[in-house]
Structure 1
Amino acid sequence: MRARAGSAALALVLGLWLAGLAPAQIGGGSIVGTVRDPSAAPVPGVRVVAHNQDTNEERFVATNTEGYYEFPLLAAGPYRIRAEAQGFNVVQGEVFTLSTGTRPRIDLALTVGAVSEKIDVSATAPQINTTTTDLGVVMTRTRADELPLNGRNFQELVSLQAGVVSSPSSGAGGRGGISFHGSTALGTNMMLDGVDMSFGEVNGAASFQSAGGGGTLINTVSVEAIQEFKSTASASSAEYGRAGGGVLNITTRSGSNDWHGTLFEFFRNDKLNANDFFSNKNNLGKSPLRWNQFGGNVAGPIKRDKVFFFFNYEGAKVRRQSQVTGNVPTEALLVQLTPEIRNTLTTILPAPTNATSNPLIGQHVRNDRSTNDEQTFLTRVDVLLGQQRLAVRHSYNNQDYATPSLSPTMPTTYPMRYQNAVVEHTMNLGSAMLNELRLGFNRVDLFRNPANYEKIPAYISVQGINASMSNFIHFLPTTYSVADNFTILRGRHSIKMGVDLREVRSVRYQGGPPSYSYTTTADIIAQRPVSVGLSFTTSKGLRTLNTGFYIQDDWRLSPKLQVNLGVRYEYSPPLRGGFNVNSSDPYGAYNAAQEPMFASDRNDFGPRVGIVWTPDAAQRTVVRAGGAVSYIMPQAIHYYDMAFISPKLSGVSSFAAADVPASYLIYPNAIAFQTLIQNNPDLLPPSMKLSRSVADYNRRDTYVGMWNLAVQRQVTKTLALQAAYVGQRTLKLISVRPLNLVNPATGTRPVTSLGQVNFEENAANISYNSLELSANQKLWHGLNYDAYFTLADGRGYYAPDDTITFTGGGLQDPLNIAGSTGPLQGLSKRVFRNIFSYSIPGGTRLQNRYLRGALSGWTLRSIIGWRSGLPLNLTSGNDFVGSGRSAGQRPDVVAGVDPYIGSHDTQVWLNAAAFSITGPKAEKRYGNLGYYALRGPSAFTMDSGLHKTFQLTEAQRLTVRLESFNTLNHTTLGNPNTTLNSATFGLITGAGSQRLYQVALKYVF
């Protein structure tokens, strides 16, 4: 134990000593450029000053022999660059905004004259990227603050760029993750002020969605507290790690020399809204809604030019109706069941409201209440100490969310307490060196608590009827991080090195009642379950220390050509805390308690290479090409279904009926059996065939190869266009293969002493190629907009699933994993997104001040999006081959029959007659329908806002906002039921929101 602690301490000391070179753009931005004389010759020794307009902070550097200068790290904000040299006039450029994660190039031309004379020139940051090869977008505070956001969740803004998916309904946003360019959504590095802001045990946002629930409104941080955020993806610098697709870094607001503040209230009421599509259809009437989001912030100097603070508070109280839909038993079925099963079904499930094609199964539709009570606080202090800067920030969220389930008496609550803190110190060590140190803390305390679950002896599912709830889980993941970066400039080289340590401590307490699964209604009537699931109540913990080192050299070969070279090394020691097999044999022996759960992977070297070429001296056109390899570190969530109590008992154990003693197959006797073996696993009867959830001990870390070629053109001073080809391949992606299934020929399992074995292996992969187009118009005659179009092709091999399943749910044939290859889940082929803002002209020249006040200050803003349909994986719901497992089995295709009905009137999307389930059952074979071979409906959205600003005084303004979501009240249908033996197969039972109105009032001083 002491040896391990000593090694960790030594690694920390060495890491901080080696910490090197990074533009440290994770914590701010850089400015680079060249200073030339009137003959265009470079001028060395010029004093270049970067002046922060908000804080009066000045940083200075000197140009080298090439006339090159660089500010490696500056806090985000408004700046003006000034150049001073003996024999020349002082030259200063225009004020521009420096964004986090950006590296604008600003060249200055000196004129001969006295140093005392100051000349303003038009030099400012170009709109195109002329220094890096990554693809990404900066979303400024203006965008985050003023666009109509449904719920005011910053993550909605992330998906507005090309190649990005963050919607949980797509499947790619499972557990709050974000998918960049076809990557796994759980491979995104999410940071707040440069430190981890994830859920801890999974790389998703710290929200209820990460626990398998709904979405929080104030996601991690209030949009009012965001200065900006930068997403970085595809061939990024070596400073960015732990990312299989992209890096999202949010920068919080800070104070300045001027006092600023905001008070705001956002209000919604059902009286303003249209009725929901399915509420209209089912005569449910308009759903009640009471929605209030409110708060304020204040910022200013504690000591002018030296110490500044910022404080933000936002609260939310929402009471709304959510539509609940599901299959339920009819009275015709209930009267045929045993009293115990009937009592459970009637306790959990409501009566049907609609009939289906099956007289034993009905459909229930209702509106039920969900609530959000959220409070978010953020405090930040910045201190300027000469050539040093210190920033301290703390965030705290107190949030409670409750969502209804199909059972009226069993809603699920999600109380969450979230904290995130950072201490950041930067120091200029002369004009050519800089060091940055960050310390971070991130903790989530979240309880997923289904009400009244303890009153149910066991859950039940049968042929589309789901009388069950999620297990209760108390999550308590904590992350501690240390990062140190050092930058040094040498001639034509900007060299950066750094070390990044992230200790992840994940803890959860979970459990719940057992469950019975029946294939058909005949089976539940006859008490013939196909499987019995046990969930053992226990406390679990997993822990590891992620370590990353990198070096990056941005080499300026000429004024027009730059080569970016880098390499990053990452290492994550094996997780400890659970039991796993100690080999690649899924039937092998287990390791001992607290031993490593898998072997170390010490091969995670990630090279980075890029070329930036600006063919014209005016920097109006740039060609960028880059490639990189990056790694995704193991995430605790993938290992929590493994054994923790005893090697004999996986966390969630599923037993086929043939593996369970007959007495325990009678409902609800499994509850007594679960209690018995949890207290003493050695009391398992010899005839009991244990299931296993294990992982390949010799697994390799997931890695991603990414490359891009982009051409960007600044058409005018305010308009930039870009076309990019983006490629990406994710390898060694985690997936699950169910093994030891029943041999249909013999009726027995290959290993007769075991039941089903769920074998987790890093063997799946994703391939992605896309054309991504963008147009970015800065303010021009009152108009600014960003438009993005993506034409993408993505395919998944071996059923990669971002929604996190641990039983290989999408895999049809475990002995032919290539047979589960098809379109990438959650990826649309075509996506268009547009955001714009237009200041309506009028009234500014009128003499009458009342008319001038009434007609001026109007702004129209909108977010418009369209995507093609998402891939659908159609399954039969039956065990055709007799393997004891029905999940993932697909039917046959009936030739010549259109699989789509696509009726908007009846909401039936798929044609059951186009698929057959009779042939494979007789022949004991799998169906021939492809994996994710069908597509769901396309989707169109339009959210709008009309804002009126009253300028009360020079420093005070009041804005009234009228915003609408789904402005055109267009019905966007969800995906249909894709289980062929379900009574509601092919039917769409959900849709996007109806038109909602929001009224807001915001006072700014």
Structure 2
Amino acid sequence: MIDSAEVVIESASNGFRRSGQSSSVGIYRIAGLPVGDYTMTVKKAGFAARRYTQVGLQVGQTRTVDVQLEVQASATEIEVVAGAAPLEQTNAEVGIVIGQGQIESLPLNGRNWSALMALAPGATNTGEGNQNTVRFNGRGRDENNFTFDGVDATGVKDPRQEANLRLNISLDSIAEFRVSSGLYSAESGNGAGAQMNLVSKTGSNVFHGGLFEYFRNDKLDARRPTDLLGKAPFRLNQFGGNLGGRLLRDKTFFFANYEGLEQRLATTLTGAVPSASFRQSALAVPALKPIIDAFKPGTTRTSNAEIDNLTSVASQPWTEKSGLVRLDHRFSDKVSAFARYNLDDGSINELRNALLEMRTSNFRTQNGVVQLQYILSPNLLSETRVGVNRSALHRDTNGTFAEGVNIAGLISLQPNRSEVEIGTSFSGIENLTWTKGRHTFKFGGEYRYITLILADTGQVTTAFSSRPNFLLNRADSVQFASALPGLKGLRPYYFAYVQDEVGLSKSLTLSLGTRYEYYSVAKTSDGRGRVLDLERCGGFCAAGTPWYFADKNNWAPRAGLAYAPESLKGKTVFRFGYGIFYGPGQIDDVNAAIDSFPETYALSSATQPLLSFPATNFVSQARSTGISARALQRDRRDGYSQQWTVSAQQSL
């Protein structure tokens, strides 16, 4: 073992340089390196220096490069091409890194990066192969966790990202990402399933960029059996470009990316509408005219004199605009920082029926991070991150009539309605890495503050159980759903971990750590929420009482052992691991009290025989159907999983 050998890591693309020394037992470790390709030089007086080129480092990887220095009197340097990354020799994690080559070459429907999650060991695709349908090792989809450049990248209200969008994070913005299916270290948590850690691209001293466009067109498609009126028009254009480079050589770099999606997919819808004779009969009652006018004339007759069929062909526009900007700056060999902002605006329109009533969902996801990396000493590294993650949805249903109307045998008129759902998380993260002898200690924590805003305009729906009753304006029931005001829920998370990775020998590495996770109880910002607990409170509890009792015992130990026998030249690794993994679980369940359905009022012809349209004339007579309270076990415990693994990996 050679102590005090100088180890220098350099990147030709951006002038990055980091140095360190081997310990008294001949072990060296350079922590906190960005992903990329490096040149590594190891030298000491009296020995021939060794220079390793093409040393690639992937996201979340601890790469092992064993060095043998030969005694040499004269100044000599031996060059070695490191090539592809060797097998992971330091932990028991089960996972995969999706590199730039796979991202660029594998075909992806809609260019959605999340389809590549299914390549990881333990993955099960239960549907379309995206954030919403890929599960790992039997765990639920809501137990996966997503991070982007080390900060929260979930859907906030839901652990998964917004699955309705294709460009949450543009494919060309991603340098690579890691899927950790299980047995990951104490650094990662907030989910008992898999960890998805994405890393954004950066600029370099060399300017680089690209432009692209993909398209689909119905002219290239065969006619489907359901296209009775001919092929439905279809236009899809997906286009974008990116540019990266330097602002100051070896100091300041930038990367910017834009991707747009324009889709116009026509669909054929058929439904029953009033015939001309039925319309004429209904107009004899002036109050029914607004309802009749909301129905379009039919396109074909039926055997029923009161009903015509309406067939409509219309487009459902889908638009997305996604962009990312990243700026990196190196203040000195010890201090560097970067800032990155990602935005995706999406508008998805869905036809509800042949009347072309439309539901429009406007999404906006935003994710930003600022990181400062500071080398406090040759053996101590600090990483500080501040991040914000926001997922906003504004959904409007626009009908041909303001209220909902259900008439037996005819298309139901959709009520106009607006919904709002805005989730935001703010994160502060500190990670420290300390190398001492054979040990590499890592410890840190995160404070995450979550806000959730929910609102709904409410609706009115009138029902007629038969068409004769409608012609007589005899309504059978009416329902008034109250509006849900803009409630704001608040919920902080607290995470902390400590980990030790020790090289017991050249071929044997032990990793030990523990993680603590505390998920506080959500509360409303105005404090108006009330808990009904007959056992503990004898009814309604005092103001400020939490919905349930938070679980404060979420200790998650982790242990891993990796053995790479020297006799097998590092081409075979045996791994053994055990760990406990916690997560917030089904977030909708524990936040349910915040978006409890508001009070609903109803009236039927049984209690008011003269019930008719417009139903607003009878609002004062409607009676409450009761408060739709949400139920939750107050002494619940956060879900967790225990995982263990015994595996062998062979390089072919």
Residue in 1 aligned with 2:502? 555
Compared CA separation, residues 553 and 177, structure 1 to 2 (3 A) = farther
Which residue number corresponds to residue 482 of structure 1? 428
* Cα distance in 2 for residues equivalent to 1:700 and 1:667: 50
Change (3 A) 1:640 1:700: closer
How far apart, CA to CA, are the structure 2 residues paired with 1:471 and 1:223? 34
Taking a change above 3 Å as real, the CA distance of residues 642 and 518 of structure 1, as seen in their structure-2 partners, is farther
CA contact (8 A) 2:398 2:414 kept: no
- Structure 1 counterpart SS, 2:103: helix
Counterparts in 2 of 1:582 and 1:64: CA distance versus 1, 3 Å: farther
1:346–1:620 distance in 2 versus 1, CA, 3 Å: farther
**1:552-611 deviation digits (Å, cap 9, x = unpaired):** 122333333222221111112211116353538699633455553322221111121222
1:628 alignment partner in structure 2? 579
Are 2:165 and 1:216 aligned?
A: yes
Pick from 673, 692, 702: which aligns with 2:639?
702
Relative distance call for 1:708 and 1:421 in structure 2 (3 A) is same
Query: What is the DSSP-based 3-state SS (H/G/I as helix, E as strand, rest coil) of the residue aligned with 2:111?
Result: coil
The percent identity for this pair of structures is: 26
Counterparts of 2:148 and 2:378 in 1: how far apart (Å)? 28
Q: Indicate whether 1:457 and 2:403 are aligned.
A: yes
Separation in structure 1 between the aligned mates of residue 583 and residue 302 of structure 2, nearest angstrom: 48
From 699, 714, 724, the equivalent of 2:651 is 714
In structure 2, the gaps of 5 or more residues are none
Determine if the alignment matches structure 1 residue 235 to structure 2 residue 183.
yes
What is the identity, as a one-letter code, of the residue corresponding to 1:217? Answer: R
2:529 matched to which residue of 1? Answer: 579
Q: 1:72, 1:487 within 8 Å by CA — same for their partners in 2?
A: yes
Confirm or deny: 8 A CA contact 1:131 1:562 kept in the other structure: yes
In the alignment, does 2:351 pair up with 1:401? no
SS at match of 2:158: coil
**Which residue matches 1:201?**
157
Which residue of 130, 135, 145 corresponds with 1:179? 135
Q: Distance in 2 between matches of 1:239 and 1:216?
A: 29
1:473 aligns with 2:473: no
Correspondence list, 1:787-826, <5 A = none
Q: Does 1:604 align with 2:563?
A: no
Alpha-carbon distance in 1 for matches of 2:339, 2:580: 33
The residue aligned with 2:192 is 244
Deviation for aligned residue 1:80: 2.3
Pick the aligned partner of 2:481 from 517, 526, 534: 534
CA contact under 8 A between 1:284 and 1:366: conserved in structure 2?
A: no
Give the Å deviation of 1:72: 1.9
2:92 to 133, 146, 154: 133
Task: Give 1:365 deviation, angstroms.
Answer: 7.8
Q: Aligned in 2, Cα 1:622/1:541: closer, same or farther, shift over 3 Å? A: same
**1:471, CA displacement in angstroms?**
5.1
Instruction: Give the superposition deviation at 1:502.
Output: 0.9
Shift of the alpha carbon at 1:620? 1.2
Residue pair 1:655, 1:690 contacting (<8 A) in 2 also: no
2:31 — aligned with what? 72
- Sort the Cα spacing of 1:239 and 1:671 in 2 relative to 1 into closer, same or farther, 3 A: farther
SS for the counterpart of 2:216 is strand
Distance in 2, matches of 1:431 and 1:65, equals 14
Distance 1:432 1:351 in 2: 78
Specify whether residues 78 and 699 from structure 1 end up closer, same or farther in structure 2 by C-alpha distance, changes over 3 A only. same
The answer to whether structure 1 residue 372 and structure 2 residue 328 are counterparts is no
8 Å contact 2:274–2:297 — kept in the other structure? no
Does structure 2 retain, via aligned residues, the 8 Å contact 1:482–1:502? yes
* Other structure's SS at 1:300 match: strand
Match among 234, 241, 246 for residue 301 of structure 1: 246
Instruction: Give the C-alpha shift of residue 75 in structure 1.
Output: 0.6
Task: Encode CA deviations 1:265-309: one digit per residue, 9 max, x unaligned.
Answer: 22222212233x3xx244242221222222222111111111111
Residues 1:640 and 1:494: Cα distance change in structure 2 (over 3 Å): closer
In structure 2, the partner of 1:619 is 570
Q: For each residue in 1:501-541, what CA deviation from the matched residue of structure 2 results, as whole angstroms up to 9, or x when unmatched?
A: 11111112213314579999999999777x96835242111
> Is 616-625 or 225-234 further displaced after alignment?
616-625
Q: Cα–Cα, structure 1 residues 250 and 522, in superposed 2: closer, same or farther, change >3 Å?
A: farther
Equivalent-residue separation in structure 1 for 2:550 and 2:609 (angstroms): 41
Structure 1 residues 338-347 or 610-619, which shifts more?
338-347
C-alpha distance in 1, partners of 2:288/2:55? 69
Cα drift, residue 549 of structure 1? 0.5
Q: Distance in 1 between matches of 2:138 and 2:288?
A: 44
Q: Deviations over 1:758-811 (max 9, x none)?
A: xxxxxxxxxxxxxxxxxxxxxxxxxxxxxxxxxxxxxxxxxxxxxxxxxxxxxx
Deviations 1:710-757 (A, max 9, x none): 321101xxxxxxxxxxxxxxxxxxxxxxxxxxxxxxxxxxxxxxxxxx
Residue 149 in 1 paired to residue 115 in 2?
no
CA 1:166 to 1:360, structure 2 compared with 1: closer, same or farther past 3 Å?
farther
The offset of 1:60, in angstroms, is: 1.5
Q: How many angstroms does 1:251 deviate by?
A: 0.8
Give how far 1:95 is off: 0.2
Question: Is contact 1:178–1:188 with CA below 8 Å preserved after alignment?
Answer: no
For residue 497 of structure 1, the aligned residue among 412, 418, 443 is 443
Could you tell me how far apart the structure 1 residues matched to 2:296 and 2:537 are? Answer: 40
TM superposition shift of 1:614: 2.1
User: Could you say if the C-alpha distance between residues 551 and 364 of structure 1 is closer, same or farther in structure 2, counting changes exceeding 3 Å?
Assistant: farther
Q: Which string of whole-angstrom CA distances, capped at 9 and with x for unpartnered residues, describes residues 418-454 of structure 1?
A: 322111111222332211001101223331111138x
AA aligned to 1:598 is Y
Q: Equivalent residue of 1:391, what SS? A: strand
* Aligned: 1:163 with 2:163: no
Shift of 1:153: 1.6
Aligned to 1:996: none
Q: Is 1:262 aligned with 2:210?
A: yes
Change (3 A) 1:581 1:362: farther
Once the 2 structures are TM-superposed, how far is the Cα of residue 551 of structure 1 from its aligned partner? 0.8
Correspondence for 1:429: 376
Post-superposition Cα deviations, 1:461-514, rounded to whole Å, max 9, x if no partner, equal 989987657952122222111100001122222211111111111112213314
Taking the aligned partners of 1:568 and 1:243, their CA distance within structure 2 comes to 12
Q: Distance in 2 between matches of 1:186 and 1:606?
A: 19
Under a length normalisation based on structure 2, what TM-score does the superposition of the two structures give? 0.86
State the Cα deviation string for residues 787-836 of structure 1 (Å, max 9, x = none): xxxxxxxxxxxxxxxxxxxxxxxxxxxxxxxxxxxxxxxxxxxxxxxxxx
Q: Which runs of 5+ in 1 are unaligned?
A: 1-41, 210-214, 645-649, 677-682, 716-1005
Once the two structures are superposed, the pairs formed by residues 82-101 of structure 1 within 5 Å of their partners are 82-101=41-60
**Alignment CA distance shift 1:397-1:609 (3 Å):** same
Instruction: Map Cα deviations across residues 865-891 of structure 1 (whole Å, 9 max, x no partner).
Output: xxxxxxxxxxxxxxxxxxxxxxxxxxx
Task: Pick closer, same or farther for the CA change 1:521–1:589 going to 2, 3 Å.
Answer: farther
Superposed CA RMSD in Å reads 4.1
Change (3 A) 1:199 1:643: closer
In 2: Cα distance, 1:515 partner to 1:391 partner: 53
Superposed displacement of residue 194, structure 1: 1.0
Match of 2:452 in 1: 506
1:122 Cα offset (Å): 4.4
| TM-score, normalised with respect to structure 1 | 0.57
Residue in structure 2 matched with residue 274 of structure 1 by the alignment:
222
